[in-house]
Structure 1
Amino acid sequence: MNWGKGLITGMAIFMLFILSMCFYMFRIPADEYDHQYYEKGLRFDADFDKERRVVTEQAQPQIRISSTEIKVAFTKPAKGTARFIRPSSAAQDKRFAIQTGEDTTVLLPVGSLAKGRWHLLLEWESGEKQYLFQKEITL
């Protein structure tokens, strides 16, 4: 084999590699990124203040997990939302409303949620102050 055939063969293989990478790139789903990235960046300071308020006021809720429900005990009466975020699939995310009475405890039904790792995001208001608490849980 002479130099000419080797150069042409090498260039052809390189061009096939580049074309296959282009085809692969266009076949990847476009949902590989966070669609609310910009909005989350704008409200980062507000969320950070809510998380810091939980720590400074020692308002961390006590969380007890069983097979059918999660018991969340707040330090004061609270009203807000609980979001279960599935890291592997955004389609499985769930949201529950939180409304405690004087007992400051709420039960969240989790029997319908898939087993595995979840990100629990509690956002509530108590005494005209807003709080945000995040925790990784396994069901």
Structure 2
Amino acid sequence: MKINWGTGIVIAFGLFITFILYFVIKVQSDSKYDNELVVEEYYKHDVHFQEEMERTQNAYDLGEKPVITSTSEGVTIVFPDIFDPNNIKGKVSLYRPSNKKLDFEIPISLSNATLLIPKKSLLGGHWDINMEWQYEGKSYLTKEKIYIN
């Protein structure tokens, strides 16, 4: 049986479409390839976007900002001396973009100006840090991306 070039092109397209569909079905059905959202309730979160922008602007307008750094002990958050550590309240959320199961939150409770998140709590890789905090009735939001070795 002789196959002309038109039939060959149709067979090639058919094989290519089958190949692509195989991988789409495999990725959608296999739990190893997890397709998670960063935020579970995306639309509820989106409603509060303006408030989030105001808190971010408050943090941006500060003369002296908290400093988030990666050290050999872990992640340190150092608040400037202009803030009384006892009056700072809030939480630090650590998000791991590659694995939602590693996400966690730590309440901000300070006796001095430094908060340490131990390295044993953090696996190596990329982390997004969102620090929501209040000081003297004003809310702030500080976002930082770090990489842990």
Q: TM-score, normalised by structure 2?
A: 0.74
Confirm or deny that 1:133 pairs with 2:149.
Answer: no
Once residues 48 and 64 of structure 2 are traced to their aligned partners in structure 1, the CA distance between those partners, rounded to angstroms, is 22
- Confirm whether residue 109 of structure 1 aligns to residue 109 of structure 2: no
Structure 1 outlier segments of 4+, above 3 Å: 32-37
Identify if the C-alpha distance between structure 1 residues 24 and 64 changes in structure 2 by more than 3 Å, giving closer, same or farther.
closer
Report deviation, 1:8. Answer: 2.2
Give the 3 Å change call, closer, same or farther, for CA 23–64 of structure 1 in structure 2. closer
Partner of 1:44: 49
Identity value in percent: 24
**1:69-122 deviation line (CA, Å, top 9, x unaligned):** 333233433111111222322222221111124x34333223231123322211
Q: Which amino acid aligns with 1:31?
A: N
Kept in 1, the 8 Å contact 2:92–2:106? The answer is: yes
Q: 1:15 to 1:73 in 2, by over 3 A?
A: same
How many residue pairs are counted as aligned between the two chains?
137
Three-state SS of the structure 1 residue aligned to 2:58 is helix
Q: Which residue of 2 aligns with 1:31?
A: 35
C-alpha separation in 1, matches of 2:6 and 2:36: 38
Residue in 2 aligned with 1:83?
93
Unaligned stretches of 5+ residues in structure 2: 29-33
Match of 2:21 in 1: 22
Partner of 2:131: 122
